[in-house]
Amino acid sequence: MWTTLLLIAAIIIGIFGVIRIVRGDLVVGIILIVVALLVGPGGVSILS
SS (H, E, C) 10-41: HHHHHHHHHHHHHCCCHHHHHHHHHHHHHHCH
Given a contact cutoff of 8 angstroms between Cβ atoms, the answer to whether 15 and 40 are in contact is no
The reported pLDDT for the residue numbered 44 is: 54
Query: 25-46 burial by CB neighbour count: b if 16+ within 10 A, else e?
Result: eeeebeebbebbbebbeeeeee
Q: What is the pLDDT of residue 33?
A: 92
Could you list the residue range(s) of the whole structural domain that residue 19 is in? 2-47
Q: How far is CA 23 from the centre of its chain?
A: 17
Q: What is the count of structural domains for the chain?
A: 1
pLDDT in tens, 11-35: 999 999 999 999 999 999 999 999 9
